[in-house]
Amino acid sequence: MNANNPTSSSWTAQDRDGTIAALDQAPQMRVLVVGDLMVDQYLLGGVERISPEAPVPILRATTRERRPGGAANVALNLRGLGCHVTLAGIVGHDDAGKHLKVDLEDAGMDTAGIVVLENRPTTLKTRVMSGGQHLIRVDEEVDTDLEDPESERLLNAIKVILSQQTHQAILLEDYDKGALSPAVISGILAEAKSKGIPVSVDPKFRHFQLYKGVALFKPNLKELKEGLGLQWESDDHEARMSGIESGLKQLENDLHPDSILLTLSEHGVRVRHSGQDAQHPAHPREILDVSGAGDTVIAVATVLLAAGVPYSALAAVANLAGGLVCETPGVVPIDADSLRREIQRLPFS
């Protein structure tokens, strides 16, 4: 096999039955999610005129919605699959953090790992929208890495959680907002190794190369390119394919993950494990909103990883799930029954 030309995807009755059986195991699994907790706020209304003060629209707000975002949305996806979820991260001593914890507990999460800090706010993203159109986004956050005492508080909470309950997987969701500091990352990886717990990672740029020896590393194409400093023109297919191959080899050499799941947006996903390299194309869909698709992909992939599903089938179903949530506006978690129906419809190849 030419490494620059991964094998086409394959899908068999065995893959179908195995992945559905794995999803059926989800209610018996407990997953620890650690990462950047956020609140996604939506300010909705109508625009009827332009401001006399500046050439900007005036939104007459009618609705304000708050939803768990970032690592909290990944946790909601795992709950949607039926998993028991323990969540660890940081929030501020503010209304956004207070409401977020209540919402997560109402959704059945164990929030014992959430540390409340006095000196930084809960990350709050406010999207101002009218008639389905996104007018502006306002971010309120402090995104520097946690200081050593704060990292120690979070890491100690995680160690207590892992000592008290058995977890089938640990999922690290990094949005470069500071919760996953170098000290927290290295501490979690050491704990996971000592306990034999597989770790999946959804990385961002800042600490891209700190996640060594994990079971599943899931960058998207932008993260691969910028995290490794790769260069190619967006319309140069050959250069892009060569750059991807170079990036995958560098990840294997530097990080030694058991597997790499590279999401490629409209081109689907590519998975590499033990010398095997396969690509699964995206499925034709009416795409309404891509927000949160990556959260769904890593959540589904982590459940299938913990269940021992072969990597090509894992990639196929994670790819399917990511596309499925794009059919609904806003950031929404996956619905397990809808995913099962989609799996049943996949044609064999």
In DSSP notation, 240-277 reads HHHHHHHHHHHHHHHH--SEEEEE-GGG-EEEEETTEE
- The pLDDT assigned to 132 comes to 79
Enumerate the active-site residues: 295
More confidently predicted of 305 and 268:
305
What pLDDT, on a 0 to 100 scale, did the predictor assign at position 149?
97
Give the containing element (helix H, strand E) for 194: helix 182-195
Domain parsing of the chain, residue ranges: 10-39+69-123+142-345
Mean pLDDT to the nearest integer, 37-42? 94
Residues 180-207, mean pLDDT to the nearest whole number: 97
User: What is the structure's pLDDT at 278?
Assistant: 87
Q: What is the pLDDT of residue 326?
A: 60
The confidence score (pLDDT) of residue 5 equals 66
Q: Cα–Cα distance between 285 and 345 in angstroms, integer?
A: 14
Rounded Cα distance between 94 and 85, Å, is 24
Q: Which of 283, 319, 286 is nearest to 300 (CA)?
A: 319
Most confident segment among 176-180, 240-244, 272-276, 318-322: 176-180
pLDDT tens-place string over residues 270-306: 999 987 888 888 765 554 444 668 899 999 999 999 9
Position 8 pLDDT exceeds 90: no
Q: Would you say the C-alpha torsion 275, 279, 280, 286 has a positive or negative sign? A: positive
Task: For domain 10-39+69-123+142-345, give the fold.
Answer: UDP-N-acetylmuramoyl-L-alanine:D-glutamate ligase (3.40.1190)
| Residue 35 or residue 291, greater confidence | 35
Mean residue pLDDT of the chain comes to 91
Instruction: Choose between 265 and 82: higher pLDDT.
Output: 82
Task: Rounding to the nearest 10 degrees, give the CA dihedral for residues 130, 39, 294, 189.
Answer: 170
pLDDT at residue 279, as a whole number: 87
Report pLDDT for 3. 46
Please give the Cα distance from 329 to 118 (Å, whole number).
34
Length of the chain: 349
Strand order in the sheet with 123-130: 57-70, 37-50, 123-130, 133-140
pLDDT tens-place string over residues 152-164: 999 999 999 999 9
Q: How far apart are CA 321 and CA 81, in angstroms?
A: 11
Model confidence pLDDT, tens digit, residues 48-86:
999 999 999 999 999 999 999 999 999 999 999 999 999
- Per-residue pLDDT of 229-239, as tens digits, reads 898 887 888 88
In the prediction, which pLDDT does 240 show? 87
Phi, psi of 131 (to 5 degrees): 55, 35
> So what's the pLDDT on residue 145?
98
Q: Please compute the mean of the pLDDT values over residues 169-184 and round it to a whole number.
A: 97
